[in-house]
């Protein structure tokens, strides 16, 4: 029973694992709260890349237990005097810099959002975060963590463009297997397509005109498109690496053209 009440914290950073930033943050957190359980989501986010951080984090956070605290330390000092936020959404708590990452994750900043206070401009980042994490995991009143946020930085995510017979989206993520994820959802595909045939166009790749369920639905080395477990359209190669083989990069345009009904 004791394990169920042990505070749980996830970490998402652009620190990498080769220098002192990550262990120093963890040391500060444990020094203030030795019983803290920490789960690493990713520390391999490219430096300053809040778009990739938001995408990776969005895939994961809701699968943790209610009450989990999530710390996102990516592109922390995007201004000479940065601010840090604590917010509550969907039964979870989130801490991170005021650089637009929360608007990418949630679409808009949750109503219960506070600006962390109680530190000076030269307070070490690890101490800022450790204080906030300790406040939340010790279940102190949330509203006492800072002042209500009346303004915050927003970053708008790119949305697909649609027409009667097409969807124009973009590549938003390439994983370690070089599978390509787009921002085209199954719901949007079905709403616009209305069951019609289609062809998918990206770069100089030959058009794809059918959906696969599994990677091995096509012969080895052949490209395919499918919806992943989160309902996002994916381009892959069976037992191959789609991105380099097909010359696809993040932010490339992906277009689906639906055939007119005869």
Measured from the Cβ of residue 227, the count of other Cβ atoms closer than 10 Å reads 18
Grade residue 241 by pLDDT with cuts at 50, 70 and 90: very high
pLDDT tens string 80-120? 567 899 999 999 999 999 999 999 999 888 889 999 986 66
Cβ–Cβ < 8 Å for 91, 122: no
State whether 67 and 169 are in the same domain.
Answer: no
In a domain, 130, yes or no: yes
Residues 56 and 131 in one domain: yes
Are residues 57 and 17 part of one domain? Answer: yes
Has residue 155 been placed in a domain? no
Please provide the size of the chain in residues.
Answer: 262
Q: pLDDT tens digits, residue range 168-180? A: 999 999 999 999 9
Whether 131 and 171 map to the same domain: the answer is no
Q: Is the same domain home to 28 and 100?
A: yes
The pLDDT value given to residue 56: 94
If asked whether residues 239 and 184 sit together in one domain, one would say yes
Beta bridge pairs of residue 180: 174, 235
Evaluate whether residue 68 is within a structural domain. yes
Q: How many domains does the chain have?
A: 2
Q: Express each pLDDT in 186-222 by its tens digit.
A: 999 999 999 999 999 998 888 999 999 999 999 999 9
CATH code at 201? 2.40.30.90
* Residues 134, 168 within the same domain: no
Q: Which domain holds residue 21?
A: 2-148
- Distance, CA of 190 to CA of 162 (rounded, Å): 12
- 13 and 140 in a single domain? The answer is yes
Q: Model-level pTM?
A: 0.85
Single out the residue in 87, 119, 148 at which a domain terminates. 148
pLDDT, tens digit, 9 for 90 and up, residues 2-60? 344 778 999 999 999 888 999 999 999 999 999 999 999 999 999 999 999 999 999 99
Tell which residue, 161, 155, 259, has the closest CA to residue 210. 259
Same domain, 132 and 165: no
Phi, psi of 191, deg, nearest 5: -65, -45
Q: Are residue 141 and residue 199 in the same domain, yes or no?
A: no
Burial 176-198 (b: 16+ CB within 10 A, else e): eebbbbbbbbeebbeebbeeeeb
Residue 111, both tokens: 């109503």
User: Quick count: other Cβ atoms within 10 Å of Cβ 119?
Assistant: 14
Is the same domain home to 178 and 63?
Answer: no
Residue 154 belongs to a domain: no
Same domain? For 222 and 251 the reply is yes
Per-residue model confidence as pLDDT tens digits over 124-148: 888 989 999 999 999 999 999 999 9
Last residue of a domain, one of 148, 174, 189: 148
Structural domain ending residue among the three candidates 107, 124, 148:
148
Beta strands in 92-237 (DSSP E): 92-97, 113-116, 146-148, 161-163, 166-174, 180-185, 198-201, 223-227, 232-237
């Amino acid at each position: 029973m004791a394990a169920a009440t042990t505070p749980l914290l996830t970490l998402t950073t652009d620190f990498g694992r080769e220098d002192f930033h990550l262990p120093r943050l963890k040391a500060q957190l444990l020094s203030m709260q030795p019983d803290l359980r920490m789960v690493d989501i990713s520390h391999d986010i490219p430096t300053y890349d809040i778009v990739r951080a938001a995408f990776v984090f969005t895939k994961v956070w809701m699968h943790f237990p209610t009450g989990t605290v999530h710390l996102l330390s990516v592109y922390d000092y995007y201004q000479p005097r940065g601010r840090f936020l604590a917010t509550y959404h969907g039964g979870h708590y989130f801490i991170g810099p005021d650089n637009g990452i929360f608007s990418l994750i949630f679409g808009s900043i949750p109503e219960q959002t506070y600006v962390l206070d109680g530190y000076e401009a030269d307070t070490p980042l690890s101490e800022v975060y450790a204080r906030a994490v300790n406040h939340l995991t010790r279940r102190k009143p949330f509203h006492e963590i800072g002042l209500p946020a009346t303004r915050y930085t927003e970053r708008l995510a790119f949305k697909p463009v649609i027409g009667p017979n097409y969807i124009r989206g973009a590549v938003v993520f390439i994983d370690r297997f070089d599978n390509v994820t787009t921002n085209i959802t199954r719901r949007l595909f079905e709403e616009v397509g209305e069951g019609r045939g289609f062809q998918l166009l990206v770069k100089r790749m030959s058009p794809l005109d059918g959906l696969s369920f599994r990677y091995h639905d096509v012969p080895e080395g052949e490209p395919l498109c499918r919806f992943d477990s989160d309902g996002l359209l994916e381009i892959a190669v069976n037992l191959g690496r789609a991105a380099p083989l097909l010359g696809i990069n993040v932010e490339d345009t992906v277009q689906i053209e639906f055939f007119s009904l005869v």
